[in-house]
C-alpha cells in the first residue's frame, strides 16, 4: 500500500510536469507564431496543389477493372512583392506503368494598377473558363473532365485547352452593380499536323507548343460578365486566331485556325431548400482553313483529299448539394449530372462525326477540398458503338 501511494505520488508529479511543459510549449509555439507572422517579410510563399487516384470498371474492356491513374500536382505560389507574383504547377502522373512529369504552367505576373496585371511565361490559356478555373482535380466534381475541355495527347484540340507560352494582360472591375473581367494574350499559337508525321492526324491541331512553328503569333482573349451583384452568374466569350501551318511548308504556311468559346457558370445558394445549385457549361468551336492532305491509301503519294475542318464540343454540368442542412450527412453529398457532345469533321481521318456522353454521379465531400467521386458514364461513338464505364476518383487539394 505504501509502495502504491509513493508510485501514485511520483506519477502525479510527473504528469503535472508534463502538463506544465506542454503548456509552456504551447505558449512558446504561439509566441513563436506571432513572432513569425510579425517578421514574415515581404516575400510570402505557399505550396498548394492536389492529388488524386482513379479507378474504372468497363465490361467491354479486356481488363474490366483497373486502378488507372494516380497524380500529384504541387502548385508553387510566390508573392514577391505587392506587385510581383510567380506561380507554377508541376503535374506528376502514373498511368499505364509510366511516370509523366509536366510543367503545367510557370508564369510571372506584375500588377500595374487596380485594373490591370501583365503576365508572361507558360500560362493556362484564358479560352473559356474550364482550363483556367475548373480543371484541377480537387475542383472538378466528376472523376474526369468533360470531353476535350482539357488537353489530351493525340487528340485534335478544339481551341487552346491547356497551357501556352505567351504574355497576357488581365484584370477585373466593377460596373455599377455588375462586374466584368478580361484577359487578352499573345501566344505561340496552334500547330497544324500536315500528315507528314502521322497521316491519320492530318488537319488536326495542337496548341501546347513550347516552340512556335512560324513567326505569326496567335492573339486571343476572354471577356467575362457577371450581371448580378451577388456574382452568382458569369458569362464568358473567348476568341483565338493564329497561323497554324509550318513557316517552311509552302503548302500550309498560310493555314489559319480560328476558335471561339462561350462559357457559363451559375452558382447559387437556394435557402428554402437549404441547397446550393451549380450549373457550368462551355462550348468550343474551331475552324481550320481548308487544305489538301495526302491520301494515306494512295501508294503513289499523288492523291489528296480535303474536308471542311470545323470541330465543336460542348458540355453542361449540373451539381446539387444540400449544403445548408445543419446536422445531416446529406450536406456532404453532391449530386451530379453532365452532358457532353463532341463533333469532329466526318471526312477527317481522326474525325468521324459526333460523340455524345452522359455522366451521372455523386461526390461525397470529406472536407471542403477532399472528396470521393463516383460516376456512371455512357458514351455513344460516331460509328454507333456504345460503352458504359463506372468511374471512381478520390481527389484532394492541399
Residue 353 found at the interface with other proteins (CB under 8 A): no
216 or 282: CB nearest other proteins: 282
Instruction: For CA atoms 308, 309, 310, 315, give the dihedral sign.
Output: positive
Q: Determine which residue in the list 17, 44, 60, 100 makes contact with other proteins, applying CB under 8 A.
A: 44
Residue 171 found at the interface with other proteins (CB under 8 A): yes
How many residues interact with other proteins (rule CB under 8 A)?
64
d(CA 226, CA 235): 7
Residue 26 found at the interface with other proteins (CB under 8 A): no
d(CA 374, CA 148): 20
Q: Are the C-beta atoms of 183 and 222 separated by less than 8 Å?
A: yes
Q: Which stretch binds other proteins (CB under 8 A): 204-212, 244-252, 345-353, 363-371?
A: 363-371
Q: Which stretch binds other proteins (CB under 8 A): 15-23, 159-167, 179-187, 206-214?
A: 179-187
Q: Which stretch binds other proteins (CB under 8 A): 9-17, 246-254, 259-267, 375-383?
A: 259-267
Residue 229 found at the interface with other proteins (CB under 8 A): yes
Residue 59 found at the interface with other proteins (CB under 8 A): no
Cα angle: 301, vertex 304, 309; to 5 degrees: 140
Residue 78 found at the interface with other proteins (CB under 8 A): yes
170 or 191: CB nearest other proteins: 170
* Residue list 284-313, contact with other proteins (CB under 8 A): none
User: Minimal distance in Å, beta carbon 329 to other proteins?
Assistant: 16
User: Minimal distance in Å, beta carbon 296 to other proteins?
Assistant: 33
Q: Which stretch binds other proteins (CB under 8 A): 196-204, 263-271, 346-354, 375-383?
A: 263-271
11 in helix, strand or coil?
A: helix
Q: What is the dihedral of CA 97, 51, 53, 140, to 10 degrees?
A: -120
The 10 Å Cβ neighbour count of residue 309 is 25
Residue 316 found at the interface with other proteins (CB under 8 A): yes
Residue 69 found at the interface with other proteins (CB under 8 A): no
Q: Are the C-beta atoms of 51 and 44 separated by less than 8 Å?
A: no
Q: Are the C-beta atoms of 187 and 169 separated by less than 8 Å?
A: no
**Phi, psi torsion values for 332, nearest 5 degrees:** -100, 5
Bridge partners (DSSP) listed for residue 178:
175
Q: Determine which residue in the list 49, 281, 345, 361 makes contact with other proteins, applying CB under 8 A.
A: 281
Instruction: Give the C-alpha distances (Å, rounded to integers) separating 342 from 22, 219, 354, 381.
Output: 61, 25, 5, 10
Residue 40 found at the interface with other proteins (CB under 8 A): yes
CA neighbours closer than 13 Å in the CB half-sphere of residue 289 = 17
Residue 276 found at the interface with other proteins (CB under 8 A): yes
Closest CA relative to residue 256, chosen from 296, 225, 314, 214: 214
Which residues of this protein are in contact with other proteins, per CB under 8 A? Answer: 33, 37, 40, 44-46, 48, 77-79, 85, 87, 109, 114-115, 117, 119, 132-134, 136, 138-139, 170-174, 176-177, 179, 181-183, 224, 227-234, 264-268, 270, 276-279, 281, 283, 314, 316, 318, 339, 341, 365, 368-369, 397
Amino acid at each position: 500500500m505504501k509502495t502504491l501511494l509513493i508510485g501514485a505520488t511520483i506519477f502525479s508529479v510527473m504528469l503535472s510536469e508534463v502538463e506544465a511543459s506542454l503548456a509552456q510549449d504551447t505558449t512558446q509555439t504561439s509566441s513563436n507564431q506571432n513572432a513569425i507572422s510579425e517578421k514574415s517579410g515581404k516575400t510570402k510563399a505557399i505550396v498548394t496543389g492536389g492529388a488524386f487516384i482513379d479507378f474504372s470498371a468497363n465490361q467491354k474492356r479486356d481488363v474490366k477493372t483497373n486502378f488507372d491513374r494516380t497524380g500529384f500536382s504541387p502548385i508553387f505560389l510566390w508573392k514577391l512583392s505587392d506587385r510581383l507574383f510567380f506561380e507554377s504547377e508541376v503535374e506528376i502522373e502514373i498511368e499505364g506503368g509510366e511516370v509523366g512529369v509536366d510543367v503545367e504552367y510557370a508564369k510571372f505576373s506584375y500588377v500595374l494598377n487596380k485594373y490591370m496585371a501583365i503576365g508572361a511565361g507558360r500560362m493556362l490559356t484564358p479560352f473559356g473558363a474550364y482550363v483556367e478555373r475548373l480543371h484541377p482535380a480537387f475542383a472538378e466534381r466528376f472523376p474526369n473532365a468533360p470531353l476535350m475541355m482539357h488537353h489530351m495527347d493525340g487528340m485534335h484540340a478544339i481551341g487552346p485547352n491547356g497551357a501556352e507560352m505567351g504574355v497576357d494582360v488581365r484584370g477585373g472591375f466593377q460596373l455599377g452593380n455588375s462586374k466584368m473581367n478580361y484577359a487578352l494574350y499573345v501566344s505561340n499559337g496552334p500547330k497544324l499536323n500536315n500528315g507528314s508525321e502521322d497521316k491519320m492526324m492530318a488537319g488536326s491541331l495542337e496548341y501546347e507548343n513550347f516552340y512556335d512553328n512560324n513567326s505569326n503569333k496567335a492573339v486571343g482573349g476572354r471577356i467575362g460578365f457577371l450581371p448580378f451583384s451577388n456574382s452568382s452568374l458569369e458569362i464568358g466569350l473567348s476568341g483565338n486566331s493564329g497561323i497554324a501551318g509550318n513557316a517552311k511548308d509552302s503548302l500550309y504556311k498560310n493555314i489559319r485556325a480560328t476558335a471561339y468559346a462561350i462559357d457559363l457558370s451559375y452558382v447559387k445558394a437556394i435557402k428554402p431548400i437549404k441547397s446550393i445549385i451549380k450549373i457550368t457549361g462551355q462550348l468550343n468551336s474551331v475552324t481550320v482553313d481548308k487544305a489538301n492532305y495526302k491520301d494515306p491509301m494512295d501508294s503513289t503519294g499523288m492523291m489528296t483529299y480535303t474536308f471542311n475542318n470545323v470541330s465543336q464540343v460542348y458540355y453542361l454540368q449540373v451539381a446539387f448539394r444540400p449544403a445548408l442542412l445543419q446536422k445531416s450527412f446529406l450536406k456532404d453529398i453532391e449530386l451530379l449530372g453532365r452532358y457532353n457532345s463532341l463533333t469532329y469533321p466526318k471526312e477527317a481521318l481522326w474525325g468521324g462525326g459526333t460523340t455524345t456522353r452522359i455522366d451521372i454521379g455523386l461526390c461525397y465531400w470529406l472536407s471542403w477540398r477532399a472528396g470521393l467521386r463516383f460516376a456512371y458514364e455512357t458514351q455513344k461513338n460516331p460509328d454507333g458503338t456504345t460503352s458504359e464505364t463506372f468511374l471512381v476518383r478520390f481527389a484532394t487539394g492541399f
